[in-house]
Amino acid sequence: MLHEPIGIALNAAIKEMGLDEVEINLERPRDPSHGDVTCNIALTLSGRLDKPSRDIAEEIAARVKKDRAGITSIEVAGPGFLNFRLSAVMATSLLDEIVARNEAFGRENTREGSQVMVEFVSANPTGPLHLGHGRQAALGDAIASLLEWTGWQVHREFYYNDAGTQIDKLVESVRVRYLALFGGQGEIPEGGYHGQYINELAESLAEEFGDQFVIDESEKATEQIRNFSVRSIREEQDRDLNDFGVHFDEHYLESSLHHTGRVKSTLEALRETGLVYERAGATWLKTTEFDDQKDRVMVRKNGLPTYFLPDIAYHMHKWTRGYERVINVQGSDHHGTVDRVRSGLQALGLPQGYPEYVLHQMVRVVREGSEVKFSKRAGTTTTLRELYTEVGTDVTRYFFQMRKPDAQMVFDLDAALDYSDKNPMYKIQYAHARMHSIFSKAQIMPEEIEAGSADLSLLTDNHERLLINQLRDFPSVLARAAENRTPHIVCEYLEQTAGVANTWYHAGNPSRNPNLAVLVDDSKIRGARLILARSLQIVLRNGLAILGITAPKRMMQEIANDGT
RNA sequence: GCGCCCGUAGCUCAGUUGGAUAGAGCGCGUGCCUCCGGAGCACGAGGUCACAGGUUCGAAUCCUGUCGGGCGCACCA
């Protein structure tokens, strides 16, 4: 909906030519000299009409009624593009709309009531959150926000794998370190956990329970160590996410799937499909019936389920809770599970593409050109907290979001720590803060700048026109980002907007052209430009809100190092 | 070996779903600059879009193959 009147006028013209209504795709041309709005409809039609696209374009152009479309000119260019120039009124009325809608500008409410679940992070409670979780937290949260902005009712969910063998390994690891505190000699088992945090866990275990587990190796003792360890790690993870500004509506425990009998009932339901068989002592599901490459074991020879079975039970419960749309955000190292989970669900009658997946690639952290590999506490990779404590949560979130999910990314610490607007995140925040600075210099509160309070057709300078057109794109950028589930599109847009805004702002520098400053003497022009400044500030703030990033009224050096 | 993702400027990456002369930031070069808040502004150079075919008015984008990088291919999660 870049510009509705143009679409209507075009379709009217096309109808006159004896054709059915078509979908009009209006875009803003990359090159501003091509006008405000462009349309490639003639090129699309040329194949169907078997006529040169240029001729079709000429014919459409001749039939479009300019005044009703709100344009001052229409021209045919290149192979048959239709380029439009908006009338001053049509071009600038957008600003009144932005100011009037304020926090709601960019929101779409057409889909009221539709529910979607976004499941993300879902780290095992076996250690601190690392970089991959960080990328996933930023990404998942932004995708959830984008869906909210495009009219969905969103449920953010975190799934804790608190029941598998990896938890047993955690317990064994903690026990070994615990015993060592009392002179024990044990070794961390194969596949166990080694980081400093295991020692810390053992120490606080000893603090709380004393030496009672040294001799007590009963089931109950193991259970106590398990509960203590899982709880501690969960608390730490929750703290890390909370301080990162990521919040969930629900934490779903794998263990609950066993307690409530969902695993069992899922197995029974699968048996009824006739796709279950026994082989070599294990119970299999014939997932090759669907999209999978080979059949999968559900219950092992030893009688224990693989994680595959609870996974199906879990997703089945997503469906029965009413989520007909579910997006799972996961690391691409899990992509092997996609086909088998979907196959299992199809066996139970769920639709083929359920659930949707957003798979993201790995992150490497680089400082002074070489990779940062180790974390003091975790022993393996840098933790999320270490990262955002050093560079700040805003920068961390922005950097994780500014690359598309399915590309590997390099997190450059030197670039992240740059406090100038060479750092794209600060560039955007600066542009936002600068508008506040203008308002306070004018001694006016932003909220006092009202829609309809000025004659916007006075905004005739080319810098102003460019900035207005840039702001016009915001809603369609959100729509595209939400549809593709790619927040980086919003980052690109905001950075570009900040760039256009900077050029506009600097053009009015007293040493260059004082007539282009916002705060000129002419009160009419000043009023119009204040509305433009306010509109810019609103769009930047709304965009940053979607990314989970603050929009400061003034920039402070401390922000760069204030992660806590 | 099979499957998924990626390959675009020196570096990090976009590329509006097949459209106009392939873009941005960093870095590099050249000129300005004491200001409505900088760790400033403007301009410029820099490309065989990994390679080879194909599809059509038109391909970085779609199809096939090759090469290179990452990840996965458990009765682990």
Measure A48 CA to B11 C1' (Å): 45
- A21 Cβ neighbours under 8 A, 6+ residues apart: A11, A14, A15
Q: Which residue is nearest to nucleotide B7 (CA to C1')?
A: A407
Task: Give which of A165, A163, A189 is closest to A177, Cα–Cα.
Answer: A189
Cβ burial of A293 (10 Å; 0-12, 13-18, 19+) is exposed
Nucleotide with minimal C1' distance from the CA of A419 is: B39
pLDDT of residue A488 exceeding 80: yes
Domains defined along chain A, listed by start: 4-86 (3.30.1360.70), 115-162+246-360 (3.40.50.620), 165-243 (no CATH), 424-561 (1.10.730.10)
Task: Give which of A193, A133, A200, A215 is closest to A388, Cα–Cα.
Answer: A133
Measure A424 CA to B66 C1' (Å): 39
Measure A409 CA to B69 C1' (Å): 13
Give A564's pLDDT tier (boundaries 50, 70, 90).
very low
- A49 Cβ neighbours under 8 A, 6+ residues apart: A56
Point out the least confidently predicted range of A105-109, A113-117, A367-371: A367-371
pLDDT of residue A402 exceeding 90: yes
Could you tell me the two tokens for A357?
A: 């997946």
Q: Which residue is nearest to nucleotide B36 (CA to C1')?
A: A438
CA angle A50, A55, A56 (to 5 degrees): 70
Average pLDDT over residues A335-359: 93
pLDDT of residue A47 exceeding 70: yes
pLDDT of residue A145 exceeding 90: yes
Task: Judge contact between A45 and A53, C-beta under 8 A.
Answer: yes
Nucleotide with minimal C1' distance from the CA of A163 is: B77
Distance CA A411, CA A28 (A): 32
Residue % of chain A over a pLDDT of 70: 98
pLDDT, tens only, A305-330: 998 999 999 999 999 999 999 999 99
Measure A552 CA to B24 C1' (Å): 24
Task: Judge contact between A13 and A60, C-beta under 8 A.
Answer: yes
Angle between the A462-472 and A88-101 helix axes, to the nearest 10 degrees? 50
Measure A492 CA to B9 C1' (Å): 19
Give A509's pLDDT tier (boundaries 50, 70, 90).
confident
Alpha helices in A50-149 (DSSP H): 53-63, 66-69, 88-101, 131-149
- Give Cα A261 distance to the centre of its chain: 34
Q: Which residue is nearest to nucleotide B71 (CA to C1')?
A: A333
Which tops the pLDDT comparison, A345 or A381? A345
Nucleotide with minimal C1' distance from the CA of A477 is: B16
Measure A199 CA to B28 C1' (Å): 50
Which tops the pLDDT comparison, A1 or A71? A71
Cβ burial of A95 (10 Å; 0-12, 13-18, 19+) is buried
Measure A421 CA to B31 C1' (Å): 22
- The beta strand positions in A249-353, using DSSP E, are 250-253, 276-279, 282-285, 296-299, 326-331
Element (H, E) at A420: none
Nucleotide with minimal C1' distance from the CA of A554 is: B37
pLDDT of residue A521 exceeding 60: yes
